[in-house]
Structure 1
Amino acid sequence: MTRKKESQEVGAPAWMATYGDLVTNLLVFFVLLFSMSTVDQMTFKEVAASLSYSMINLNNGDSILDSSANSIIVFDYTRFDSEEAEAKRKEKYIEDANEMVVDAEEKLKNKEFDEAKNKIRDTIEEQGISDKVYVVEEKDYLLIRLDQEIFFESGSADIVSEGKVVLSSLAPSLREMENEILISGHTDNVPQTNQKYETNWELSTARATNVVRYLTEVENLEPDRFTATGNGEHRPVGDNNTPEGRQKNRRIEIKILK
């Protein structure tokens, strides 16, 4: 009589489960360390690239936290039937890793933006100019609207001492960000009598330009982040038929793009 062959175990060896748990626990440990630390974008990209490279070179089963860090993605232990299947797997791993990097970078940018926004608001409170400054966060930018009287004498584009103090106090928060910044000058509808500026177009443009020059030449912020524009009286936020409305329209706006 022929002897029956002993049944062979199917699938990965038993030690693989313990090894997989160990790898998962190590990864969770490092994810926790990462969540409690402050990492700059360059360092994070290097770590993410390393993880991505490791994932696409897995031949056996393993596991890793997904982008929300709430569940585990378990990789199949079985071998692939063809090179095409393996290529698709690697492509999927790369796609998932890239999504994780994008999500993390977006969260990091939002965190930095919120921190800078809070510092700007604190600075305005410290300067005691809350009644002359309007700060609001829109979908695509943070708007800082400052009354003209903080920065300029009537009909002038020269920044007064108080305006320089305000700009210098805002500069550290702006320096911590990499966002593009738009500076725009606005006036009321009263015609210019100053021979230096023929119309409110020239006056508002000169004021915005001088604010940019102060931030870049005195406070040494990066010039390529700034754009200066003058709008004259053509984008009012108040009624030009009243003194109160005209005062609101005489302003400098700083838009920090997201």
Structure 2
Amino acid sequence: MSGGGGHGGGRKKKHEEHEEHVNHERWLVSYSDMMTLLMVLFLVLFAMSNVDSTKVILLQEGFNQAFGTNAVLQGSSSVLQDNSSDSAGIDMAAGSGPAGQMTAQEKQIAQEAVNAADLAKAQSRMTVAEAEAQNLKDAQKKITAALKKDGLAGDASFTIDQRGLVVTVITNSVVFTGDSAILRPVGQKILSAVGPTLKALPNDIEVDGHTNQLRVPTVNYPSAWELSTARASAVVRYLIDTQGMPANRMEAAGFAGTRPLISPRDPRSVRLNRRVEIIVLSGLPDDTASLLPTAAKATD
């Protein structure tokens, strides 16, 4: 009879035990720190492997500015001195100057190294430009010989500019009649002489049409823009159809009278600025192609 109260009083309160929360992604923080340090290490090792004292100086200065210390590249001086005769005894670990800044002497040495590297690159570009200029001159000789053989030696002139070899054909009434883009027989003969050499070259070919500066109303075309473009297109079409030039190597453009060959004040401009230019395009990068005019003179 007495068990009911005792049973109730003896009941023990149960406590739920919760497992302590564990951050399973905490290792990512340490991992990312380690990867950052490895990246810095590999960058330093890469700079050391190239044994470029200028790059090492600039790399050290960058680290010094970032970390406010000159301890990042400790010992780099010995690497340079052991592996490069160009180090000029620079003590990279010394970190002369405030916050590891380069001294005036170190900056001068670094600048001289940069200047020497720039000069070497410029000389290399000039060598490449001279070789290209010689190839263009060889093409010019072949075209000249073909024109001379057909009695057309005086109907084309040649220049080498940053674009490549420019073959200029004056579009007088013998080549095109006024306000017309139809090639006359002599114009066809000139292109037939030029075509075989152009086809044998690996270069792309651009044909530019130009009119003179006279503001003579056109009848068959809305303006000189359409006329100059039509003449360039007629030359391209003739070279493709009769000389077998690959169409994907050809392009045509018209410039009306916006790019005169000689000053419009010159009495000859009325005749000489009315022309078609056949350009053997150079495949050189722009900074090297800009040296072609100078290279052409150097190879004369």
* 1:204 aligned to which of 211, 220, 228: 228
Could you say which residue in structure 1 is the equivalent of 2:241?
Answer: 217
Deviates more, 1:132-141 or 1:146-155: 132-141
Q: Establish whether residue 159 from structure 1 lines up as the match of residue 183 from structure 2.
A: yes
* 1:250 aligned to which of 268, 274, 297: 274
CA contact (8 A) 2:140 2:158 kept: no
Return the offset for 1:190.
2.1
Aligned partners of 1:201, 1:114: CA distance in 2, in Å? Answer: 31
Structure 1 residues 169 and 183: alpha-carbon distance in aligned structure 2, compared to 1, 3 A threshold: same
Encode CA deviations 1:153-202: one digit per residue, 9 max, x unaligned.
11111000000011111111011111011100000122343322111001
Could you say which residue in structure 1 is the equivalent of 2:161?
Answer: 138
Structure 1 residues 107 and 238: alpha-carbon distance in aligned structure 2, compared to 1, 3 A threshold: closer
Encode CA deviations 1:206-249: one digit per residue, 9 max, x unaligned.
00000000001221110111110000011011233454111111
What SS does structure 1 have at the residue aligned with 2:268? helix
Could you say which residue in structure 2 is the equivalent of 1:117?
Answer: 140
Q: Bigger radius of gyration, 1 or 2?
A: 2
Return the offset for 1:126.
2.6
Aligned partners of 1:111, 1:193: CA distance in 2, in Å? Answer: 43
Aligned partners of 1:173, 1:121: CA distance in 2, in Å? Answer: 10
| Paired residue type of 1:193 | P
Aligned partners of 1:121, 1:235: CA distance in 2, in Å? Answer: 25
TM-score (norm 1): 0.54
CA contact (8 A) 2:206 2:250 kept: yes
Paired residue total: 154
TM-score (norm 2): 0.47
Structure 1 residues 132 and 110: alpha-carbon distance in aligned structure 2, compared to 1, 3 A threshold: closer
Return the offset for 1:140.
4.2
- The correspondence of residues 1-258 of structure 1 with structure 2, limited to 5 A, is 113-149=136-172, 150-258=174-282
CA contact (8 A) 2:152 2:190 kept: no
Percent identity, aligned pairs only?
29
Could you say which residue in structure 2 is the equivalent of 1:46?
Answer: none
CA contact (8 A) 2:191 2:239 kept: yes
Aligned partners of 2:130, 2:244: CA distance in 1, in Å? Answer: 28
| Paired residue type of 2:150 | Q
Cα-Cα RMSD: 2.5
Return the offset for 1:122.
1.2
What SS does structure 2 have at the residue aligned with 1:233? coil
| Paired residue type of 2:144 | R
Aligned partners of 1:193, 1:139: CA distance in 2, in Å? Answer: 34
Aligned partners of 2:142, 2:167: CA distance in 1, in Å? Answer: 13
Structure 1 residues 193 and 138: alpha-carbon distance in aligned structure 2, compared to 1, 3 A threshold: closer
Structure 1 consecutive aligned stretches of length 4 or more whose deviation exceeds 6 Å:
105-111
Aligned partners of 2:167, 2:154: CA distance in 1, in Å? Answer: 13
Unaligned runs of 5+ in 2: 1-127, 283-300
Aligned partners of 2:224, 2:239: CA distance in 1, in Å? Answer: 23
Return the offset for 1:136.
1.6
CA contact (8 A) 1:192 1:198 kept: no
